[in-house]
Amino acid sequence: MGKGATLTPNQKVVVWARGKLGHKIGRGKCWDLGEEALKQAGASTSNDLGPVADDTDYVWGDPISDLSQIEPGDILQIRDHLITTKIKIEYLFKDGSTIVEKDERTAQRGHHTAIVNGKLDANGGVKTLEQHVRPKGDVVQDMYLYTRDVPEVVTKTVGQHKHPRTKQSERVNITKSVTITVTGTIWPYHPKAK
């Protein structure tokens, strides 16, 4: 920014929220972060745009019709969002023996608000600023949010692993498959000047 340049409401939202990383805003709820960031930016808040109740899908500004158009400082209202990551690792030994490990992880946001902290990437993921989420709970955190399914990604490498029969470490071919599925709804909003 040049000298004397004026920040847009989006820029004010994201600069203020980044400055609060590691701090608890208000009661530590996700809504508190979005509400205070917009207030600090001089933009209309969910209270201005109403209605606001414990289970309301809040309105945070002007609706964005295409999620791919989000930019830093936009606000996401999230409902029943579930990210399921399935990981399968296969170790193939020279004698044809295999070991297969499977893992499944989930990240859930039932009724949630987040601030966009980057552009949507090729995998449909975006950096966000959030509070009232794992791992740190009720303080502002840097997060990453998938907005859509990611097709299976398969990587092949060579490494070492203990043979299931001999228990000796051997050179193995490793095939890792990762699949991400996303369900739920995300409503993006662009901050609206008062």
* Mean pLDDT value across residues 151-179: 97
- 3-class state of residue 31 by DSSP: helix
Please give the C-alpha separations between residue 109 and each of 140, 161, 177, 185, in angstroms, as whole numbers: 15, 37, 25, 10
In the predicted model, is pLDDT for residue 171 greater than 90? yes
Confidence (pLDDT) at 51:
84
Confidence (pLDDT) at 38:
98
If phi over 0 gives left and psi between -120 and 50 gives alpha, with beta otherwise, what is residue 165?
alpha
Q: Which phi and psi (to 5°) does residue 115 adopt?
A: -105, 130
Burial of 83 from C-beta contacts in 10 A (0-12 / 13-18 / 19+): buried
Question: How many Å apart are CA 89 and CA 79, to the nearest integer?
Answer: 32
Confidence (pLDDT) at 21:
98
Q: 50-59, 75-84, 136-145: lowest mean pLDDT where?
A: 50-59
Taking only the tens place, the pLDDT of each residue in 43-67 is 999 999 988 888 889 999 999 999 9
**Distant-in-sequence, close-in-space partners of 27: CB < 8 Å, separation ≥ 6:** 138
Question: How many Å apart are CA 28 and CA 113, to the nearest integer?
Answer: 12
Domain ranges for the chain, please list them. Answer: 9-190
Please tell me what DSSP assigns to residue 135: T
In the predicted model, is pLDDT for residue 174 greater than 90? yes
Confidence of residue 31 (pLDDT cuts 50, 70, 90): very high
Confidence of residue 4 (pLDDT cuts 50, 70, 90): low
Confidence (pLDDT) at 52:
87
User: Do residues 74 and 38 touch, judged by C-beta distance below 8 A?
Assistant: no
- 3-class state of residue 111 by DSSP: strand
Q: How many CB atoms lie within 10 A of CB 164?
A: 11
